[in-house]
Structure 1
Amino acid sequence: MFWRHPKDAQKDSLKEFSAILKSIRERLPLAPSHHALRWFLANGSSLSLEMGGSADLSTALIEIATPETRSPRQVVCYQLANEQILQDALEAHRPSQDWSLIKSNSDAYGHTLGQHESYDMRIAQGPWLIAWWIGLALLLLPLLLYRSLAALWLGSMLLISLGHRGLGMAGWGNDKTSASKLDSLQSHDCLLGFPMAPWQWILGAWGLRQLHAPIVWLFGLLLYTVALRPHRRNASAFLASRCLLDGAGYLDPESKFWISSRAATVDREIGFGSYNAHRPIFRCDPLLRKLLSGPYWSLTNLFELLGPIQRIEIAIGDSGMCQQSQWLRLGSTALVLDWVEQNPRVEAIQLRSPTTAIREYARDWMLVRSMPDRKGLEYKSRDLSRIYLRTLKSWLEKKSEVPREAWEIIELWQMTLNQIDAMPKNQNQPPMLLVGRIDWISKLWLLQQLGKETDWTVKKKIDIRYHELTSEGYFRQLLENLQLSPLVSEQEIQLAMRMPPAESPAWRRGTWIREFADSESKIAVSWEKASYELDGENYSVLFRR
């Protein structure tokens, strides 16, 4: 998310982020992580200030992550709750009515952002799991060498910092990243308590990147060869067509309308995203962080990678506003992934190039483009979506116990495709029944209410402010006029703003934050654990799945 503010207003992302945290703390306990720019809320969520590959805080964006949940509908509920938490915090401190939060899909530099979905997936099984273990074992020696060299490199950066600033500027006892006070935000530019200039951070990051580049390449090769083979074989065609259900719409600089900006940038099936600016379907950055991060003297994270179940991100979706669209995205994807893992030997449709297909489908709002599979057969995006729908419906009918929500998702999926198929033959108007329910259709309808000669800047304003979280946002205004029944009730949202999901790691994390947030002890929280100091002793609490 980013701030919309007057042109003449000076942007200070750190100050604005701090003000939002202080406002949230008045309503909800929160606690810092080991990173000064990431905080955890008592409802289990995470709030951070993301700088991307830049050391310039003026370009930073707010990122909020939902807690671990047990169902797609629950994810939607916590998305809405977190949006309301942020909006309430902004209302309490914003300088004027001209300031607002935009649930953005791109930044001012044209970088696509979108929404990352995290799923527990089986990384491999059978002989492929053994190959995964062997590959990780072969990485052990290079990893130990990297950690030794990285420690020397960071030590040299500390010496440079001391020489540049002088010993009086900082001290070893100045580590605030685990303090419970918001003043710790000021230590975001410190390494072991010593302030670092932006150029020093850039130099330090460059050096570490050179050191671990061989490991990243080898790990990427292992992923490409071994990991998620059934998922890539049997789920890629569905994911290539999924923007039909969940795209948020996008107006490009040539005034052409796309279904999805994020899906249109996908360039590979599996890989890393933030590390090398790639846009994979299956984004394995959580695995890379496990491999490279953590204490230099500990191999715990490496051992965790031996587990057959790992957290993988699917990073092809936009940040949308419609509850139905979000629910369809998460629910249909969860069903497809379950089907793939329970039927790893089933052969589904395999597109000749899933990455080319997803880019083409994302730019095809008229839904006329078709892409070939490996047998030469052509499929439109809605053809693929309906084939997967029928396959999943048949699979669920054979199971003895099926959650009610699964059937609700199947029913909504089928109804949505039927309404898309009912699109007027002249293809000039989107189906009105899906306005307010599917984002790209809703945004397209709003844009089509303008005259053909309307200036691009006016259209782009609608494209951007459709995602505004205030009552002045165009989606919010559209929803108010349509009076559609919400998927999630206001009572559920209010509860999710305060409490984490039951029977999840988030519940234990949220409970711990409520207990220790006001403590004078040094505390730090992560997704997996919390650490704190009591009577001079250090303790850790694990939030197991």
Structure 2
Amino acid sequence: MGIETEYGITYTDGDIRKLRPDEIARTMFRPLVEKYASSNVFISNGSRLYLDVGSHPEYATAECDSLTQLINYEKAGDVIADSMAKTAEGTLAKEGIDGQVYLFKNNVDSVGNSYGCHENYLVGRSMPLKALGKRLMPFLITRQLISGAGRIHHPNPTAKGETFPLGFCISQRADHVWEGVSSATTRSRPIINTRDEPHADSHSYRRLHVIVGDANMAEPSIALKIGSTQLVLEMIEAEVGLPNLELANDIASIREISRDQTGSTLLILKDGGTITALEVQQIVYQHAVAWLEQRPEPEISGTSNDEMRRVLDLWGRMLEAIETQDFSAVDTEIDWVIKKKLLDRYQVRGNLDLGDPRLAQIDLTYHDIRPGRGLFSVLQSRGLIKRWTTDDAIAHAVEEAPMTTRAHLRGRILQAADKLGAPVTVDWMRHKVNRPEPQTVELGDPFATENAEVDQLIEYMLTHAESYRS
């Protein structure tokens, strides 16, 4: 599993915005470009760090094989990105430009542009992607109920086809997808991207690329988003009898659900029947509960059954909260619930209209990743948002690659290359030492943690260490 996070970016000096996003982003990535001659690099914890289209800093986690491990590496990305932002502030200050870099882990900017938080799941090649998507789609469309990030929707009068009024949405991403399943990513964003890039042995594996999810701040929200999806994928692969809940109109449904926190949005099924969004989640949840009773315990690594019980506990509490509209049992764990509670309190206290700019500022500041500055960070430090993992585990993930996937091997190569100054070219599968003579190792098994060729590659770098210093 892996998560790709694109960050929104801006720079201010008081109330004056001095630099464009592309200028700030280039300053952030300047140390990497100076060191590696590229703004697209893999770093020592096995993850990928790069400057994406639209000047968005992007971080893609190393391959992870368990839920908490993935949360640690996803949150490590925030630490790494914020460290880059602080370095950029120092660089700009030396150039006479004083101010602060703001990185937002959200999905929509002030003028309606959207950027993503993409999920990647390794599935068996034997499962046809079209069939997998058909079974998974009703769950993904309604998943926003349990793991959305929430936002105030401000109508854009210049947007073609804009029909929704001012209001609170439970998902940031729902309005910005246009197809169910497609090979596109930006032109016509789908819920599931079908581009066949397994980044592994293509005879054995395929990569399920989900691009509909919100970027989450709260660790329990990440756990529920990823953990519930993992359980559904396991059930589909195990053929445990999930019912056919295929919807007649995926895109209309996902937009309507986003504006109804009761989950009572009536969805039309392809077979002509109807079902509510909450009922879809309840049906899938009940099957997940039954699946966990027979789910094999991972032998060496992977998400344990105990951890999946934590996921099911939160999932069940969230569904009950939606049904009863009493969110007190989850209002420290689910982003959209946390945010709506915060906005409601400020709105009542200040007698504010929902369109008031002060509420929009609260909405945005929740996603500021700077510790002590972002609202999420302040709330979590005060114990008002629950944890799933620990700061120590996240700090370890900043420095070290996962020990239970091939990212461990990539991390070893990168750390050796960095120490010795060896020129290397790395992607998810291929690892190359460029000189004196090119040496390449390809890692097609995502679960490999030992490899004799990697040992030889590192030994090759050690043997030629002197040449790298000359």
Asked if structure 1 preserves the Cα contact closer than 8 Å seen for 2:369 and 2:377, the reply is yes
Asked if structure 2 preserves the Cα contact closer than 8 Å seen for 1:230 and 1:341, the reply is no
Deviation at 1:97, TM superposition (A): 5.4
Asked if structure 1 preserves the Cα contact closer than 8 Å seen for 2:262 and 2:325, the reply is no
3-state SS of paired residue (1:47) = strand
Residue matched to 1:356 = 252
Residue matched to 2:467 = none
Residue matched to 2:173 = 262
Residue matched to 1:419 = 321
Asked if structure 1 preserves the Cα contact closer than 8 Å seen for 2:132 and 2:236, the reply is yes
Deviation at 1:82, TM superposition (A): 1.6
Q: What is the CA–CA distance in structure 2 between the aligned matches of 1:508 and 1:383, rounded to whole Å?
A: 44
Asked if structure 2 preserves the Cα contact closer than 8 Å seen for 1:419 and 1:434, the reply is yes
Q: Say if 1:443 and 1:103 are closer, same or farther in 2 by CA, change over 3 A.
A: same
Q: Which residue identity lines up with residue 365 of structure 2 in the other structure?
A: R
3-state SS of paired residue (2:231) = helix
3-state SS of paired residue (2:121) = strand
Q: Where do 1:395-434 residues align within 5 Å? A: 395-399=291-295, 401=297, 403=304, 404-424=306-326, 431-434=327-330
Q: What is the CA–CA distance in structure 2 between the aligned matches of 1:347 and 1:446, rounded to whole Å?
A: 37
Q: Say if 1:362 and 1:122 are closer, same or farther in 2 by CA, change over 3 A.
A: farther
Q: What is the CA–CA distance in structure 1 between the aligned matches of 2:393 and 2:439, rounded to whole Å?
A: 34
Q: Where do 1:456-475 residues align within 5 Å? A: 456-470=356-370, 471-475=372-376
Which of 453, 472, 482 is matched with 2:353 structurally? 453
3-state SS of paired residue (1:313) = strand
Residue matched to 1:38 = 40
Q: Say if 1:347 and 1:454 are closer, same or farther in 2 by CA, change over 3 A.
A: closer
Residue matched to 1:100 = 102
Deviation at 1:318, TM superposition (A): 1.0
Q: Which residue identity lines up with residue 367 of structure 1 in the other structure?
A: G
Q: What is the CA–CA distance in structure 1 between the aligned matches of 2:331 and 2:40, rounded to whole Å?
A: 36
Deviation at 1:387, TM superposition (A): 0.7
Which of 73, 77, 81 is matched with 1:78 structurally? 73
- Worse-matched range after superposition: 327-336 or 406-415: 406-415
3-state SS of paired residue (2:212) = strand
Residue matched to 2:440 = 540
Deviation at 1:104, TM superposition (A): 2.8
Asked if structure 1 preserves the Cα contact closer than 8 Å seen for 2:50 and 2:58, the reply is yes
Q: Where do 1:66-465 residues align within 5 Å? A: 66-94=61-89, 95=93, 96=98, 98-107=100-109, 109-125=111-127, 227-254=128-155, 255-274=166-185, 277-287=187-197, 305=202, 307-343=203-239, 347-399=243-295, 401=297, 403=304, 404-424=306-326, 431-449=327-345, 450=347, 451-453=351-353, 455-465=355-365
Deviation at 1:336, TM superposition (A): 0.3
Which of 386, 395, 409 is matched with 1:508 structurally? 409
Q: Output one character per residue of 1:230-250: Cα deviation in whole Å (capped at 9) or x when no partner.
A: 322322111111001111112
Q: Output one character per residue of 1:306-344: Cα deviation in whole Å (capped at 9) or x when no partner.
A: x25211211111111111111000000011011101118
- Worse-matched range after superposition: 475-484 or 434-443: 475-484
Deviation at 1:368, TM superposition (A): 2.9
Unaligned runs of 5+ in 2: 1-6, 156-165, 299-303, 447-470
Q: What is the CA–CA distance in structure 2 between the aligned matches of 1:258 and 1:282, rounded to whole Å?
A: 21
Residue matched to 1:210 = none
Q: Say if 1:435 and 1:4 are closer, same or farther in 2 by CA, change over 3 A.
A: farther
Q: What is the CA–CA distance in structure 1 between the aligned matches of 2:428 and 2:111, rounded to whole Å?
A: 30
Q: Which residue identity lines up with residue 239 of structure 1 in the other structure?
A: L
Q: What is the CA–CA distance in structure 2 between the aligned matches of 1:515 and 1:389, rounded to whole Å?
A: 45
Deviation at 1:441, TM superposition (A): 1.3
Which of 4, 29, 32 is matched with 2:10 structurally? 4
Q: Say if 1:400 and 1:46 are closer, same or farther in 2 by CA, change over 3 A.
A: closer
Deviation at 1:21, TM superposition (A): 6.1
Q: Say if 1:246 and 1:486 are closer, same or farther in 2 by CA, change over 3 A.
A: same
Q: Say if 1:495 and 1:521 are closer, same or farther in 2 by CA, change over 3 A.
A: closer
Report percent identity of matched pairs. 23
Q: What is the CA–CA distance in structure 2 between the aligned matches of 1:38 and 1:16, rounded to whole Å?
A: 13
Deviation at 1:383, TM superposition (A): 1.4
Q: Output one character per residue of 1:370-423: Cα deviation in whole Å (capped at 9) or x when no partner.
A: 212234433222211111011121122134546322222122211222233331
3-state SS of paired residue (2:434) = strand
Deviation at 1:464, TM superposition (A): 1.5
Q: Say if 1:358 and 1:70 are closer, same or farther in 2 by CA, change over 3 A.
A: same
Asked if structure 1 preserves the Cα contact closer than 8 Å seen for 2:247 and 2:269, the reply is yes
Asked if structure 1 preserves the Cα contact closer than 8 Å seen for 2:24 and 2:101, the reply is no
3-state SS of paired residue (2:216) = coil
Flag the structure with larger Rg.
Answer: 1
3-state SS of paired residue (1:434) = coil
3-state SS of paired residue (1:410) = helix
3-state SS of paired residue (1:446) = helix
Q: What is the CA–CA distance in structure 2 between the aligned matches of 1:454 and 1:351, rounded to whole Å?
A: 32
Q: Output one character per residue of 1:238-290: Cα deviation in whole Å (capped at 9) or x when no partner.
A: 1111001111112222331111121233222211233x611212112353x98
3-state SS of paired residue (2:431) = strand
